């Protein structure tokens, strides 16, 4: 199993550009989530999904869109990038929504918005 | 929504000493409290977790305690080793949905 994969690893955008961060898992996990990590602020939940076709907002959803058309994929879209979105983005997944199972994190995407 | 506070933000100990990291949470409905370790440049990884129906859980040199009344939980690492040096995050959620993390504690274990 590849586990949780994310692409790209690094990305530089200009203000106003849009892009999609890709996340995929091959563990048949129902639950998937996106976090951003900023220095001194820990991990903040952006959006999460408890299964295909179901998404919900987390703590900091503004400026981001998600969709979940398959169990495996959970892309994160930045609609119009802003310097405040410069961060490291982590995707995570766990077996069974509504459970106490471990979240497995992807390797992260480091995004810089100029 | 849930708010998790974590202290201290940095912690330095001598090898072999114990380390304690404390977290408080705000939502009394939270029932799942995991701890994650993140080494420099790597992804967070779960090291231990506890559910609200348990007061303490141990796994070799690490333990977690939970006080539901006071809404705080703590991570205890005994006999620290240099490889324990990392950033540790506590988190709280209702089951594992909509998880909120603390700001992290940078632990340094000096040989």
Model confidence pLDDT, tens digit, residues A10-26: 999 999 999 999 999 99
Q: Do A100 and B32 touch (CB under 8 A)?
A: yes
Q: CA B85, CA B106: separation in Å to the nearest integer? A: 8
Q: For residue B60, give both structure tokens.
A: 């070799």
| Mean local confidence (pLDDT), B82-90 | 97
pLDDT given at position B22: 98
Tokens representing A104 are: 């497995």
Q: What's the pLDDT at B84?
A: 98
Report the share of chain A in percent with pLDDT over 70: 97
Tokens of B14: 């001598």
What is the biggest distance separating any 2 CA atoms in chain B, rounded to whole angstroms?
41
Residue B96 pLDDT class (50, 70, 90 cuts): low
| pLDDT surpasses 90 at B80 | yes
- The mean of the pLDDT values for chain A is 94
Element (DSSP H or E) covering residue B80: none
CB under 8 Å to A39, separation ≥6 — which residues?
none
* B37 CB neighbour count, 10 Å cutoff: 20
The predicted pLDDT at position A46 comes to 96
Alpha-carbon distance B25 to nearest alpha carbon in chain A (angstroms): 15
Kindly determine whether residue A58 and residue B95, on different chains, have CB atoms separated by under 8 Å.
no
* Per-residue model confidence as pLDDT tens digits over B43-63: 999 999 999 888 999 999 999
| Rg of chain B on CA atoms, in Å | 13
> What is d(CA A91, CA A29) in angstroms, rounded to the nearest whole number?
13
Residues of A with CB under 8 A from a CB of B: 31, 33, 35, 40-45, 48, 50, 56, 58-59, 90, 94, 97-103, 105-108
**Chain B partners within 8 Å of A45 (Cβ):** 98-101
pLDDT at A2 over 90: no
E strands of A3-100, at which residues? 4-7, 10-13, 19-25, 31-37, 43-51, 54-57, 64-66, 76-78, 87-94
């Amino acid at each position: 199993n590849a586990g949780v994969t994310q692409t790209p690893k690094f990305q530089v955008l200009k203000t106003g550009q849009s892009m999609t961060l890709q996340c995929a898992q091959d563990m048949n996990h129902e639950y998937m989530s996106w976090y951003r990590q900023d220095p001194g602020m820990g991990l903040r939940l952006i959006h999460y999904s408890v299964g295909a076709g179901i998404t919900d907002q987390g703590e900091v959803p503004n400026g981001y869109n998600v969709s979940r058309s398959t169990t495996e994929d959970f892309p994160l879209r930045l609609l119009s990038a802003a310097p405040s979105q410069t961060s490291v983005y982590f995707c995570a997944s766990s077996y069974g929504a509504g459970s106490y199972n471990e979240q497995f994190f992807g390797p992260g995407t480091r995004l810089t918005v100029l | 929504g849930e708010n998790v506070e974590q202290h201290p933000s940095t912690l330095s100990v001598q090898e072999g000493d114990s380390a304690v990291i404390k977290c408080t949470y705000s939502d009394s409905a939270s029932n799942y409290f995991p701890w994650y370790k993140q080494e420099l440049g790597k992804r967070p990884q779960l090291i231990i977790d506890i559910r609200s129906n348990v007061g303490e859980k141990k796994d070799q040199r690490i333990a977690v305690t939970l006080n539901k009344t006071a809404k705080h939980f703590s991570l205890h690492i005994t006999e620290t080793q240099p490889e324990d040096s990392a950033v540790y995050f506590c988190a709280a959620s209702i089951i594992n949905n909509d998880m909120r993390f603390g700001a992290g504690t940078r632990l340094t274990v000096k040989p």
